[in-house]
Copies of this chain bind each other. A is one copy, B any other.
Amino acid sequence: MPTTPQPTRTTRTKAQQREETTRALVEHARRLFAAKGYAHVSLTEIVQAAGVTKGALYHHFSGKDDVFRAVLEHVHGEVAERIADAAPDADPWTQLVAGCRAFLTASTEPGIQRIMLIDAPSVLGWSDWRDLDAATSMQQLEAALTQLVDDGVIVDQPITPLAHLLSGAMNEAALWLARSPNRDRDLEDTMATLTRLLQSLRG
């Protein structure tokens, strides 16, 4: 019976080690950042939660802000996914409205909000924050608006300022909604107002 050269299961390959460690660090860092805010979480706290040491952290990341950036990318990706899944096969207008609702719902959750909307601009600087956003939510928004202009659904106009106005409106609305004592009703009011604003763009 030939001994198959399978790597012993008690040990791990280097790639596995790397992936496991980074995954643990990012996951625990995300939990802590969301709960206490970037400034009030220490690296010691993070590495202890992840079961490693600072040496490991600095082997994979260039510093505290780099860990935050990795966390933020995860969060952004999650939100973008939820927006894309909101109404995947509907017409562009419905997609836009459904996407806005999905964004508001996701961004209202505390685990997402503090990281993505409160700490991110301060930690990364606004430009880097926008660059990251431009690769996800903002891109989806601009694409939807461009599509609507091409289809003649809304009147031709500069897309970029419109996208920024809408994006900012939803960011702030999400922050407000998260602290609302009557969140469901306020969400509906917000969506109604937002839809009314969007209607003004139609021909």
**Which A residues have a C-beta under 8 Å from some C-beta of B?**
37-39, 117-119, 121-123, 125-127, 130, 157-158, 160-162, 164-173, 175-176, 179, 186, 189-190, 192-194, 196-197, 199-201
Contact B190 A161 (CB under 8 A): yes
Chain B residues whose C-beta falls within 8 Å of the C-beta of A38 in the assembled complex: 122
Contact B173 A165 (CB under 8 A): yes
Complex: how many Å from CA A157 to CA B186? 12
Complex: how many Å from CA A186 to CA B162? 11
Complex: how many Å from CA A160 to CA B173? 10
Interface of A is mostly: helix
Complex: how many Å from CA A158 to CA B182? 13
Contact B173 A172 (CB under 8 A): no
Chain B residues whose C-beta falls within 8 Å of the C-beta of A186 in the assembled complex: 160-161
Chain B residues whose C-beta falls within 8 Å of the C-beta of A197 in the assembled complex: 165, 197, 200-201
Complex: how many Å from CA A122 to CA B37? 8
Chain B residues whose C-beta falls within 8 Å of the C-beta of A168 in the assembled complex: 168-173, 175
Complex: how many Å from CA A164 to CA B108? 14
Chain B residues whose C-beta falls within 8 Å of the C-beta of A190 in the assembled complex: 161, 164-165
- Top 4 nearest A-B pairs (CB, nearest first) are A168-B172, A200-B200, A122-B122, A169-B169
Complex: how many Å from CA A48 to CA B16? 50
Chain B residues whose C-beta falls within 8 Å of the C-beta of A160 in the assembled complex: 176, 186
Complex: how many Å from CA A5 to CA B158? 70
Contact B165 A194 (CB under 8 A): yes
Please give me the residue from chain B that is nearest to A178 by CB atom. Answer: B126
Identify which of B39, B121, B189 contacts A118 (C-beta below 8 A): B121
With A161-B176, A164-B190, A167-B172 already in contact, 10 other A-B pairs whose C-beta atoms are closer than 8 Å: A37-B125, A118-B121, A130-B175, A158-B193, A165-B170, A165-B193, A166-B169, A168-B172, A197-B200, A199-B200
